Amino acid sequence: MNVIEIKNLTKMYGKARGIENVSFNVEEGEIFGFIGPNGAGKSTTIRTLLSLIYPTSGSAAIFGKDIITAAPEIKKDIGYLPSEVFYYDNMKVIDLLKYSASFYKKDCTKRIRELAEIMELDLTKKIDDLSLGNKKKVGIVQGLLHEPKLIILDEPTSGLDPLMQQKFFDLLEKENKKGATILFSSHILSEVQRLCDRVAIIKDGRIVTVEKISTLKENTYKKFKVETKSEIGMEHFNVEGVNQLEKDGSTISFLFRGNINSIMKKIAEIEIANIWVEEPDLEEIFMHYYERED
Partner 1 sequence: MNMFLHELKAYRKSTIVWTLSLVALVILFLSMFPSFSKDAEEFKKLLEGFPVEVRKAIGLSIDSIATLLGFYSYAFLYLKLAGAIQAMNLGTSILSKESREKTADFLLTKPVTRKQVVTAKVMAALVSLILTNIVFIMLSFVMASIVAGDEFSKKVFFLLSITLFFIQLMFLALGIIISVIFPKIKSVISVSLGTVFGFFMLGMISSTTDDKALRYLTPFYYFDSAYIVKNTGYENSFLVTGIILIIAAVAASYYLYAKKDVHSV
* Binding region for partner 1 (CB under 8 A): 43, 47, 50-54, 71-76, 78, 80, 82, 84, 86-89, 99-100, 102-104, 142
Which of 78/115 has CB closer to partner 1? 78
Supply the minimum distance, in Å, between the C-beta of residue 273 and partner 1: 52
Q: What are phi and psi of 162, to 5 degrees?
A: -55, -35
Q: How far apart are CA 81 and CA 153, in angstroms?
A: 5
Q: How far apart are CA 236 and CA 228, in angstroms?
A: 12
Supply the minimum distance, in Å, between the C-beta of residue 99 and partner 1: 6
Residue type for 89, please?
D
Supply the minimum distance, in Å, between the C-beta of residue 156 and partner 1: 13
- Burial (0-12, 13-18, 19+ Cβ within 10 Å), 70: middle
Supply the minimum distance, in Å, between the C-beta of residue 142 and partner 1: 7
Which of 36/280 has CB closer to partner 1? 36
Which of 89/294 has CB closer to partner 1? 89
Which of 84/170 has CB closer to partner 1? 84
Supply the minimum distance, in Å, between the C-beta of residue 121 and partner 1: 17
Supply the minimum distance, in Å, between the C-beta of residue 68 and partner 1: 10
Indicate the DSSP class of residue 209: E
Which of 15/177 has CB closer to partner 1? 15
Q: In what order do the strands lie in the sheet with 198-203?
A: 78-81, 150-154, 181-186, 31-35, 198-203, 206-212
Supply the minimum distance, in Å, between the C-beta of residue 54 and partner 1: 6
Asked if residue 23 lies in contact with residue 42, where contact means CB atoms within 8 angstroms, the answer is no
Supply the minimum distance, in Å, between the C-beta of residue 152 and partner 1: 8
Which of 1/52 has CB closer to partner 1? 52
The angle at the Cα of 154, spanning 18 to 191, to the nearest 5 degrees, equals 120
Q: How far apart are CA 202 and CA 8, in angstroms?
A: 14
Backbone angle region of 125, left / alpha / beta, with phi > 0 → left and psi within -120 to 50 → alpha: beta
Q: In the chain, how long is the greatest CA-to-CA distance?
A: 73
The angle at the Cα of 156, spanning 189 to 83, to the nearest 5 degrees, equals 115
